[in-house]
Amino acid sequence: MAGLTGRMSTVVKAKVSKLLDRAEDPAETLDYSYQKQVEQLQNVKKGIADVVTAKKRLQMQETSLQKSVVKLDTQARQAVAAGQEDLARTALERKNVAQTELQGLDTQVTELEEQQQRLTDSEQKLRAKIEAFRTKKEVIKAQYSAAEAQVRISEAATGVGEQMADVGLAMQRAVDKTENMKARADAVSELESAGTFDDVTALGSGEDDIDRQLKQLSSQPAVDDELAKMKSELGAGGAAPQLAEQNEAAPEPAAADAGEQPSQGGAA
């Protein structure tokens, strides 16, 4: 097979033989391989621990962002009720950015969980192979002449070597992915420490740097939609019951102030 699988197979085989070539007599091959196998198991365990740590960090950020979303939503509603549309918009922009980050984190936590599962499975498989190897080498030593034993042992060692190479690849991929996740977690931390998800009521008047950046980060159509929806909900639920009626029936030429609300709501 050429292309995709050909190269993969060739590289793995080269790795395995490099791993085993260092030892010359079978006993040495056995000892060396076995020692390598045990080391590799330790590495895998460390790899799993790293993945779990990265995952926990992302999950903590998720929890904190979820709280921000709830808080900013409440503040936006309060601002709408108080007629402070600018403040409501700012809160919704922040909420929008927080929600986008949350979705990203969610995907990545799932991905890390998959990596964790893969590594755990790989570890179990390697452990089983090592165990089989340990039994097999004793059987081979007892049953065959030295020359034949050497051949059989090196075959078995190659088989276990292949499994080790495979676990090595799974580890490398997990490490790469974990690094990417760290980058994402750092980006969220930066947004957090810049005050992106802070209380909007703490804001002074006027737009600051954060707000200008948020305008770029957040999806303005989504913010417009949500603001309109909030306004119509609050309008319908509370102060203006005649407005609710009009939304449903719609034919009456109602009061001038009520006339504005549905047209904005309707644009959503």
Partner 1 sequence: MIVRISGEDQYELADGDAERLNELEKNVVTIVEGGEETRFGDAYNALLDYVRTNGTRVGDDQIENSQVILPPSDLTFAEAGKEFTGEGLIPD
Binding residues vs partner 1 (CB under 8 A) = 1-5, 7-9, 11-12, 14-15, 114, 118, 122, 124-125, 128-129, 131-133, 136, 155-156, 158-160, 162, 165-166, 168-170, 172-173
CB of 133 to partner 1, least distance (A): 6
Alpha helices by DSSP H, 194-255: 209-217, 220-237, 241-249
Residue 14 or 146: the one with the smaller Cβ distance to partner 1 is 14
**CA-based end-to-end distance of the chain:** 56
Q: How far is CA 14 from CA 7, 11, 76, in A?
A: 10, 5, 62
125 SS3 class: helix
CB of 175 to partner 1, least distance (A): 13
Residue 118 or 215: the one with the smaller Cβ distance to partner 1 is 118
CB of 132 to partner 1, least distance (A): 4
Residue 155 or 233: the one with the smaller Cβ distance to partner 1 is 155
d(CA 84, CA 88): 6
CB of 179 to partner 1, least distance (A): 15
Residue 79 or 119: the one with the smaller Cβ distance to partner 1 is 119
8 Å CB contact between 61 and 188: yes
d(CA 31, CA 37): 10
